[in-house]
């Protein structure tokens, strides 16, 4: 059973860079695409982007200028960087395995953007 766990700071200052890592266990990195999704408080789900184990990526056009996803297959991890954050980026950030549908999800981590 694939399991995912997000880690990273829960508080980021405006204009700085949000950085999160997702650690994958119980599955091969080559079996899925790996994705980030976020959910602002009280709102719905927004897909951020995905990466394949080969390193190929694709991002939501609304975030493309600020987002980067990378993978470290040796550590079974993939990471998210979102720069120039504002209060609108405050959300629970989830990592998930992607095979069309998002089959497995991490528990999520709340990131608050505030000075």
Partner 1 sequence: EIVMTQSPATLSVSPGERATLSCRASQNINNNLAWYQQIPGQAPRLLINGASTRATGIPARFSGSGSGTEFTLTISSLQSEDFAFYYCQQYSNWPPLTFGGGTKVEIK
- Restricted to residues 11-50, the positions that interact with partner 1 (CB under 8 A) are 35, 44-47, 49-50
103: contact with partner 1 by CB under 8 A? yes
Angstrom CA distances, 110 to 11, 42, 57, 86, 91, stand at 8, 12, 24, 14, 6
The two three-digit tokens of residue 42, written as one number = 């009280």
Output the smallest distance, CB 30 to partner 1, in A: 19
Please choose, from the candidates 98, 103, 88, the residue with its C-alpha nearest in 3D space to the C-alpha of residue 49.
98
Among residues 61, 65, 74, 115, which is the contact residue for partner 1, using CB under 8 A?
A: 61
10: contact with partner 1 by CB under 8 A? no
**Residues in contact with partner 1 by the rule CB under 8 A:** 35, 44-47, 49-50, 58-61, 94, 98, 100-108
């Amino acid at each position: 059973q694939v399991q995912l766990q997000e880690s990273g700071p829960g508080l980021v200052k405006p204009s700085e860079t949000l950085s999160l890592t997702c650690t994958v266990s119980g599955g091969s990195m080559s079996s899925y695409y790996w994705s980030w999704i976020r959910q602002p408080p009280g709102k719905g789900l927004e897909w951020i982007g995905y990466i394949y184990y080969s390193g190929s990526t694709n991002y939501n056009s609304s975030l493309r200028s600020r987002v980067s996803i990378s993978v470290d297959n040796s550590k079974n991890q993939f990471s998210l960087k979102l720069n120039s954050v504002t209060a609108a980026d405050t959300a629970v950030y989830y990592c998930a395995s992607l095979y069309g549908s998002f089959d497995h999800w991490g528990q999520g981590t709340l990131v608050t953007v505030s000075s």
